[in-house]
């Protein structure tokens, strides 16, 4: 540390004037400095948008949510505007809106066929308009799970246009007629994801015309349950004959797809530009036929088969999946867009998560877990004194997944000291996350969760650092923190 930086730190944090004039720092000043944001484990550079934001949208991981309108139980719980507000404040850029016909020609939002409460579609759109760009300037995708009749679809289209105005993307950008634009080109724009009739060229030709009452049918592909398709014709991707998609298949064949006709109001269809909803059939089918402006949602069960990873996230459900989601998207200024590593952007790269990449640049990460400060007390102990331990969990490609933990410090959550060193060799650091979990040891009911913090490995600051802690619900537990020393080499 050079003298100029040291002088600035002393001027900023030293409370005793006499010590400050002597260009020195007291213990109190040092504690203030170590407790400041400058000494956090998360790199300051990662708190702002620093990545190249001019790549096409498909080159980014995008922070997305599922059933965004729910804030607790998915079968009985309340639908609430806070689901959308809290997701947007956290930097979420893709919101799901489950739309159904409501009374008096007013579409409503709720989890269909359940007892969850209902919200007016108009109210949801107004809330999104207010909070869409509070945390991030980059585009928001409204993924419409659309179960509405054509007449109420027209109401939805009118609402979207009247509330969002020019922020609603309703035409192709002149510079991007046949490819996806970048987050930069779509700043402060709202994109609608829904079923679409016809081509983008036809949409442009209809611009400005009266579409009231115009309804068209489109074929929708859906995955049928096995009982439903027994003895019937289904759509399935054929490995041996990629040119033909329609086959009659036996009970044992998977996946099982059927076709059905759905009615789409042209007014709503024409608001779909770069995010046309298409049913995912297979990666092979997508490579052969998928257009640049088509996107697919993959259900968790199907995704597990494909990736052995969970994908759809309910922002209202606390726990490990949301900790990983929030931790990953801390990076790049919490903008909700993360540029994928080169090996995931290049079609020629044969990346296999189960094998280290040929061009692998592994990281050796060393963390000395020194101590904790004012950790949350145990709710299971009559004296509120926790038997504290810390688990360091590494998440990434299968070969990088591992966890290590400290010994237990008995009856001390106020200032436990561990002074233990852990080393991790990380094959694909670009996809790795580190999660610090503080627990209180429980011999009968299991360990009690006290707090956690998750961040990308490559966003970790070197040196002596403070790890802030968050509750299970994602709330800050300040001043609770861990004190660590971090070092890594490539």
List residues with catalytic annotation.
Answer: 66, 111
Q: What is the Cα–Cα distance from 399 to 401, expressed in whole angstroms?
A: 6
Integer CA distances (angstroms), 204 to 66, 193, 194, 208, 240, in order = 31, 17, 17, 9, 39
State the DSSP H helix or E strand holding residue 419, giving kind and residue range, or none if neither. strand 417-426
Pairing of strands 276-277, 294-295: parallel
Please name the residue that has the structure tokens 């990983």. Answer: 324
- What gap in Å lies between CA 255 and CA 262, rounded to an integer? 21
> Dihedrals φ, ψ of 160, to 5°?
-60, -45
Q: How far apart are CA 227 and CA 232, in angstroms?
A: 10
Give, in order, the Cα–Cα distances in Å from 314 to each of 206, 241, 358, 430, 466: 37, 38, 35, 25, 29
Cα–Cα distance list, 465 to 174, 460, 483 (Å):
48, 9, 6
Element (H, E) at 342: helix 342-345
Structure tokens at 449: 């969760």
Give the single-character DSSP code of 333. Answer: H
Residue count of the chain = 490
Residue 392's beta-bridge partner residues? 404, 436
């Amino acid at each position: 540390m050079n003298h100029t930086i040291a002088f600035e730190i002393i001027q900023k944090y030293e409370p005793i004037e006499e010590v400050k004039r002597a260009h020195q720092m007291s213990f109190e000043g040092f504690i203030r400095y170590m407790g400041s944001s400058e000494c956090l484990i998360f790199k300051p550079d990662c708190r702002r948008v620093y990545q190249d934001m001019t790549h096409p949208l498909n080159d980014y991981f995008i922070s997305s949510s599922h059933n965004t309108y729910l804030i607790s139980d998915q079968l009985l719980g309340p639908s609430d505007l806070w689901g959308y507000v809290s997701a947007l404040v956290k930097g979420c850029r893709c919101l799901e809106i489950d739309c159904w016909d409501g009374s008096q020609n007013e579409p409503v939002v709720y989890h269909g066929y359940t007892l969850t409460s209902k919200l007016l579609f108009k109210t949801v759109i107004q809330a999104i308009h207010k909070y869409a760009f509070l945390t991030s300037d980059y585009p928001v995708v409204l993924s419409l799970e659309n179960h509405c009749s054509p007449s109420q679809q027209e109401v939805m289209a009118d609402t979207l246009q009247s509330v969002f105005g020019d922020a609603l993307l309703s035409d192709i950008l002149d510079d991007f007629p046949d490819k996806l634009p970048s987050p930069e080109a779509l700043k402060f724009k709202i994109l609608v994801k829904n079923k679409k009739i016809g081509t983008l060229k036809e949409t442009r030709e209809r611009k400005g015309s009266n579409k009231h009452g115009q309804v068209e049918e489109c074929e929708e592909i859906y995955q049928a349950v096995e009982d439903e398709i027994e003895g019937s014709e289904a759509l399935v991707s054929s490995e041996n004959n990629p040119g033909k998609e329609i086959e009659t298949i036996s009970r044992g064949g998977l996946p099982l797809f059927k076709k059905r006709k759905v009615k789409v109001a042209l007014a709503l269809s024409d608001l779909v530009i770069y995010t046309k909803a298409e049913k995912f059939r297979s990666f092979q089918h997508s490579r052969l036929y998928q257009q640049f402006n088509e996107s697919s949602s993959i259900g968790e069960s199907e995704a597990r088969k494909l990736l052995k990873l969970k994908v759809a996230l309910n922002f209202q459900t606390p726990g490990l999946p949301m900790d990983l989601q929030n931790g990953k998207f801390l990076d790049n200024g919490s903008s909700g867009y993360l540029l994928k590593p080169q090996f995931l952007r290049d079609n020629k790269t044969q990346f296999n998560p189960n094998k280290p990449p040929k061009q692998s640049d592994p990281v050796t990460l060393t963390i000395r877990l020194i101590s904790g400060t004012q950790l949350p007390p145990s709710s299971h102990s009559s004296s509120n004194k926790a038997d504290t331990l810390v688990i360091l969990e590494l998440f990434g490609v299968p070969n990088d997944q591992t966890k290590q933990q400290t010994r237990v410090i008995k009856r001390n959550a106020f200032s436990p000291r561990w002074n233990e060193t852990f080393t991790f060799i990380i094959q694909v650091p670009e996809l790795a996350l580190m999660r610090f979990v503080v627990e209180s040891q429980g011999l009968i009911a299991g360990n009690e969760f006290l707090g956690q913090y998750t961040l990308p490995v490559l966003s970790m600051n070197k040196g002596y650092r403070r790890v802030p802690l968050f509750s299970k619900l994602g709330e800050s537990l300040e001043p609770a923190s861990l004190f660590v020393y971090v070092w890594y080499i490539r």
